[in-house]
Amino acid sequence: MRKLFDISCILVIMAALLSACQPWYKREPLEVMEPQAVRFRLDVDWERLFGEVPSGMTVMLFADKQPGAVTTVSHEVKSRYLDLLPDKYRLVLFNKSVGDFPSMQFENMDSYAAMRTRANTFTPSHYTDWTQGQTFTYNPEHFGTVIEEFEITEEMLYTQVTFYPYKEWIKMKTSENASTRFYQEDDLTYVMEVAPEPREVTLFVRVHITNSRNLKSVEGYITGFADGWHITGGHPAEGDETRYLLDNWTVTDDSEHLGDGWAVASTTLWGEPYGKEYWEDRADDQHVLKMRLTLYDGSTIDYEYNVGKDVRFATNVWGEEWSYTNNPTDIEVLTIWDRDPGNTPGKPDDPDVITPDGPKQPDDPDNPREPENPDDPREPVLPDVEGKDQSGKSGWGVDVDPWVDGGRVEIPI
């Protein structure tokens, strides 16, 4: 009886093994997993913070498990589809490409931690006696970046996966719409929205000039700001060997003081050197403002100011009302004035709206001010000269010779 039982068990086991080894025509069909990477879309809102839509953008992806960076440059700037394997990613995105910024050069772009920009320098092609032969720092162009870290998980991949019979999958892959069949279904696509931020800072230099009606022209430059931007660090570079040219001065009358006026210039730059963002941490000579004022009689007066602690960040906090702040912003203001604007600097491009608290330092007969001392930034006081506007107004006009007919010129075509 026991022998019969052993034989029956053996027969059952053999039958099970034989049924598992089905012939090829009875096997289950082969299936293929599709997609094999996560469908991911990057939506880029340029207008919200950057203010304009660029002509192109660069997208760099650094993955933990993959060497180097995957870099794409595209004219499609509002969205970008990516196929990503499960991994941890670091994203670097900026407008245009590294070859589209003549004002700066890009360094260490194969290293996520070290990539940065550095400002180029130039010698002006149109110069005066004062600027001839001098080298200046290019002010940065409009440059916006996004730095993000995110993870693509196995679970994200599983939510998009479908198992297709092999023959059906082959037909779909070779069909006309194969390139879009699996990757552009919005209800299955993971989306991340980003908004690039501009990295350049605008500096306003405002100088109150006593007796400005004698002034014919202004030249100037300022030193000691950052020489570039640490892209992934999100802050200006440490280098400060810079000299930014101030060559777009405008002069307006002081509405409260007849014959006086405000000279205002602005330029973009990379901000304060890293580690010197706060004015209390800067030396007086961290920033040096140099100016040459030309009077109507052709004479010139040079001024030099150590203003490291006088350059301040400003922010628009309530509509038209501006305030100084210790937090770095994209607006910096330097005001040379014998009165103190307090904490309400007015609009940076319209200093005439400042409500001053009073003189910075009342004149002391026993300790007179030193107008030529760089550490004592007093406003320029101009003498009366021949050739000024005698009406008592600023007179910012110019004499223009009458137009003369130059005759007809034949242009060959």
pLDDT in tens, 367-382: 655 656 787 778 999 9
- Please tell me the predicted confidence (pLDDT) of residue 318: 67
Residue 264: which residues within 8 A CB-CB, separation 6 or more?
A: 204, 205, 206, 207, 249, 250, 251, 252, 349, 351
Of 397 and 132, which is predicted with more confidence? 132
Q: What integer pLDDT is reported at residue 111 of this predicted model?
A: 95
Let me know: does 203 contact 269? Beta carbons within 8 Å.
yes
One-letter identity of residue 310: D
- Quick one: tokens of 283? 């030396």
pTM (2 d.p.): 0.78
Instruction: Report the pLDDT value the prediction gives residue 412, as an integer from 0 to 100.
Output: 44
- Tell whether the model's pLDDT for residue 402 goes beyond 60: no
Neighbouring CB atoms inside 10 A of 400's CB total 6
For the chain, percent of residues with pLDDT exceeding 90: 53
Backbone angles phi, psi at 170, to 5 degrees: -60, -45
User: Residue 203 above 70 pLDDT?
Assistant: yes
Find out whether 311 and 333 touch, Cβ atoms under 8 Å: yes
Q: What is the model's pLDDT at position 293?
A: 96
pLDDT digits (tens, 9 = 90+) for 308-359: 999 999 998 766 788 898 889 999 999 999 888 778 888 899 898 888 877 7
Residue pair 36/163 in contact by the 8 Å Cβ criterion = no
pLDDT(31) > 90: no
Q: Is the pLDDT of residue 167 over 80?
A: no
347: helix, coil or strand?
A: coil
pLDDT at 369: 59
Q: In the structure, how many helices (H) and strands (E) does the chain have?
A: 5, 28
Does residue 183 or residue 379 have the better pLDDT?
A: 379
pLDDT band at 307 (very low <50, low <70, confident <90, very high): very high
CB neighbour burial string for 352-363, b if at least 16 within 10 angstroms, e if fewer: bebebeeebeee
Element (H, E) at 202: strand 201-209
What pLDDT is stored for residue 127 in this prediction?
83
Q: Can you tell me whether residue 26 is helix, strand or coil?
A: helix
What is the Cα Rg of the chain in Å? 34
Identity (one letter) of the amino acid at 342?
G
The single residue listed with the structure tokens 């092999």 is 166
Q: Comparing 61-65, 105-109, 120-124, 163-167, which segment has the lowest mean pLDDT?
A: 163-167
Question: Quick one: average pLDDT of 174-201?
Answer: 67
Please report, rounded to a whole number, the percentage of residues in the chain having pLDDT higher than 70: 75
Place of tokens 């027969």: 11
pLDDT attached to residue 296: 93
Closest-CA residue to 42 (of 67, 64, 68, 61): 61
Residue 197 has pLDDT above 60, yes or no: yes
In the numeric block, which tokens belong to residue 406?
């130059």
Average pLDDT, stretch 115-127?
93
Confidence bin at 257 (pLDDT 50/70/90)? confident
CA angle 394, 206, 353 (to 5 degrees): 75
Query: In which band, very low, low, confident or very high, does the pLDDT at 29 lie, cut at 50, 70 and 90?
Result: low
Confidence of residue 19 (pLDDT cuts 50, 70, 90): low
The whole-number pLDDT of residue 238 equals 95
For residue 35, what pLDDT is reported?
54
Pairing between strand 243-246 and 190-194? unpaired
Residues 6+ apart with CB under 8 A from 134: 123, 124, 127, 243
**Range name among 244-248, 251-255, 404-408 with the lowest pLDDT average:** 404-408
Predicted local distance difference test score (pLDDT) of residue 340: 81
Give the pLDDT of residue 184: 33
Sheet holding 79-84, edge to edge: 79-84, 38-44, 190-194
pLDDT digits (tens, 9 = 90+) for 225-248: 999 999 999 999 999 999 999 989
Given a cut of 60, is residue 205 above it in pLDDT? yes
Alpha-carbon gap, residue 343 to 358, rounded angstroms? 12
